[in-house]
Amino acid sequence: MARPYQKANIPGPEMGTSVSDPNVMANFLKSSMKKVLVIGAESLNWELDGKKIADYLIEIANKIDCHVVGTGHTYGYLKDKINTDKLYDMSLINITNRLCDKEWTGLNGEGQYSMAI
């Protein structure tokens, strides 16, 4: 059986799910779980009510005080808007592989994340 090189988009024992109810998502974000927010390049292209999606995600990240990974060219947009000790520049495939790695100790070396947003 052929094995894929990259781990992204491969169903496994733990898969992400969409949350359509904003109250449910708010409860997840308020929880004490260790979280990382990944902001990709498409968030700079899409707008809601004349505001970039990235700007909404920046507000959320600052409110929940979590680590933020900027993928692609988003790091340049984020670096002046998010505390630099919480912001990391990493490719999407790299952060995906690290989140799958049970031995990875997180971006700050203090342990694995319970939730990736």
Would you say 53 and 60 are in contact if contact means Cβ atoms under 8 Å apart?
no
SS3 per residue for 83-104: CCCCEEECCHHHHHHHHHCCCC
Q: What is the pLDDT of residues 14-48, one digit of tens each?
A: 666 778 888 988 888 888 889 999 999 999 999 99
Query: Which tokens hold the place of 8?
Result: 């992204």
Task: Give Cβ neighbours of residue 30 (< 8 Å, ≥ 6 apart).
Answer: 64
In total, how many domains does the chain have?
1
Q: Is residue 23 part of a domain?
A: no
Q: Is residue 18 part of a domain?
A: no
Total residue length of the chain:
117
Q: Is residue 41 part of a domain?
A: yes
pTM of the model: 0.81
Q: Is residue 2 part of a domain?
A: no
Find the domain containing 52 and state its range. Answer: 33-116
Q: Is residue 59 part of a domain?
A: yes
Q: What is the pLDDT of residues 75-89, one digit of tens each?
A: 999 999 999 999 999
Looking at residue 58, which CATH number applies to its domain? 3.40.50.1220
Task: Name the helix (H) or strand (E) containing 29.
Answer: helix 22-30
Q: Is residue 22 part of a domain?
A: no
* Antiparallel, parallel or unpaired: β 67-70 and 47-48: unpaired
